[in-house]
């Protein structure tokens, strides 16, 4: 691939802008400045620098964020910050999108990607990728509520029954559940449907991928194995 095209694919701006960066001597590979935009590259294990900052070539990006409270999953956040505020322009230029949504007050594992197929694989209603949530509840969780969640509840304006699996009481007012769909405010509405209320919600896992060891607001690139784990379906 041509150097100018590679830079453009990685989010460094228009083809023209990338040509200019290269001609200005801003780009180097293995400590050698390359000022020819038409320089041909081998993309395998390619590392490069732009203005002294190191980058790795990635055909697509898969990101795990530990989402903090007070961040919305939309670009034009209205009352809160946007999760996209947590990423630099280079990544934003690649058109990364949230894989599904978390409410502004929900914390935990949020995936972002510029791979449309991956996004589709995880969010398509028929794919049923499991999501594990932990929550603090307003009232103690009763055995009856656990049973009802496992049997399934109806949600207003939604078709079908919404059931949870692997429902585990972690403490009197703490619950962990796995859900396999992803309708609007699903977990909060399921808890209301059984007569309780979510006070705090945290997503701990998607597919077989547990939230990596990240502080709130921190993120990392997923490796190939982690990408496969996120897509994992147990049924």
CB of 52 to ligand URA, least distance (A): 39
In the complex, the residues that contact ligand URA under the rule CB under 6 A are: 102-103, 106, 185-188, 201
Q: Indicate the residue among 9 and 69 with the shorter CB distance to ligand URA.
A: 69
Is 103 assigned a catalytic role?
A: yes
Q: Quickly tell me which residue has 């020819």 as its tokens.
A: 36
State how far the alpha carbon of 5 is from the alpha carbons of 2, 151, 171, 208, in Å: 5, 53, 54, 35
CB of 32 to ligand URA, least distance (A): 48
Cα–Cα distance, 12 to 216 (Å, whole number): 27
CB of 146 to ligand URA, least distance (A): 18
Options 35, 88, 103, 139, the catalytic residue: 103
CB of 160 to ligand URA, least distance (A): 16
Q: Indicate the residue among 169 and 185 with the shorter CB distance to ligand URA.
A: 185
Structure token digits, residue 212? 């990596």
Q: Indicate the residue among 10 and 205 with the shorter CB distance to ligand URA.
A: 205
Cα–Cα distance, 34 to 3 (Å, whole number): 9
How many CB atoms sit inside 10 A of residue 50's CB?
A: 17
CB of 130 to ligand URA, least distance (A): 13
Cα–Cα distance, 30 to 46 (Å, whole number): 9
Structure token digits, residue 123? 């969010």
Give just the sign of the alpha carbon dihedral 152, 153, 159, 165. Answer: negative
DSSP of 30-96: TTEE---TT-B---TT-EEEETTEEEE--SS-EEEEEEPTTEESSSS-SSSEEGGGGS-HHHHHTT-
Q: Indicate the residue among 65 and 187 with the shorter CB distance to ligand URA.
A: 187
Q: Indicate the residue among 90 and 204 with the shorter CB distance to ligand URA.
A: 204
Q: Annotated active-site positions, please?
A: 103
């Amino acid at each position: 691939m041509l150097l100018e095209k590679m830079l453009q694919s990685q989010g460094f701006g228009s083809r023209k802008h990338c040509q200019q960066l290269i001609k200005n001597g801003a780009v180097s590979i293995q400590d050698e400045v390359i000022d020819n935009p038409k320089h041909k590259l081998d993309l395998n294990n390619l590392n490069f620098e732009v203005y002294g900052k190191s980058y790795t070539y990635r055909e697509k990006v898969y990101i795990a964020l530990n989402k903090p409270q007070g961040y919305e999953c939309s670009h034009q956040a209205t009352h809160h910050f946007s999760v996209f505020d947590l990423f630099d322009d280079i990544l934003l230029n690649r058109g990364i999108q949230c894989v599904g949504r978390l409410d502004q007050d929900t914390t935990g594992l949020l995936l972002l990607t510029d791979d449309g197929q991956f996004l589709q694989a995880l969010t398509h209603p028929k794919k049923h990728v499991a999501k594990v949530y932990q929550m603090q509840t307003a009232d103690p969780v009763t055995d009856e509520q656990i049973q009802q969640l496992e049997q399934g509840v109806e949600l207003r304006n939604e078709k079908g029954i919404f059931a949870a699996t692997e429902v585990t009481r972690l403490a009197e007012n703490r619950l962990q559940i796995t859900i396999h769909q992803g309708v609007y405010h699903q977990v909060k509405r399921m808890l209301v449907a059984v007569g309780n209320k979510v006070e705090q919600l945290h997503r701990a896992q998607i597919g077989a991928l547990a939230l990596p060891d990240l502080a709130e607001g921190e993120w990392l690139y997923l490796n190939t194995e982690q990408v496969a784990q996120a897509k994992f379906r147990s049924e």
